[in-house]
Amino acid sequence: MTKTHCLGICPEEGATVARYPSAEPIVSDVGLDDVAALLEQGQGDDGAWEAVERELMNIEELQTSKVIDLARRLKPGLTLEDVQNPHDFPELDDADWHYADGILTGMKSVTMALRALRQRLRDGS
């Protein structure tokens, strides 16, 4: 996955996806139902699924570091477990920290949704 600027195509529904290498590098009107086909196209195995999951895990790891670093600036010495229980630390009642933690929660949700979709497709449901 790569962050891009405008691809020049604003679909009425869904998203525009740039893929490479691919015979069809830009696909528009992509919805949730199209994800499996895009990931499997040209792969023949689970390679694309695994690559996306690896990338999501790398992004999640980076965001986790950001959340912990920001928490430690607010209250030095906090551990990962401490950060997972922010209500125990009034110092973490900070808008920037809550924003970063919310981004991390969203990333974890995307990873879980991708895994669930992959499992549903494997199960044929």
Residue 30, strand partner residues: 15
Taking residues 36-46, what's their average pLDDT? 63
User: Given this model, what pLDDT does residue 46 score?
Assistant: 61
In the chain, domain spans: 1-30, 43-123
- Quick: pLDDT tens for 57-90: 889 999 999 999 999 999 999 999 999 999 999 9
Percent of the chain with pLDDT over 90: 40
- Angle at CA 42, nearest 5°, toward 40 and 46? 40
Compare 42 and 117 and report the one with higher pLDDT: 117
pTM: 0.65
Please enumerate in sequence order all residues whose Cβ is within 8 A of that of 48, keeping only pairs 6 or more positions apart, or say none. Answer: 38, 39, 40, 41
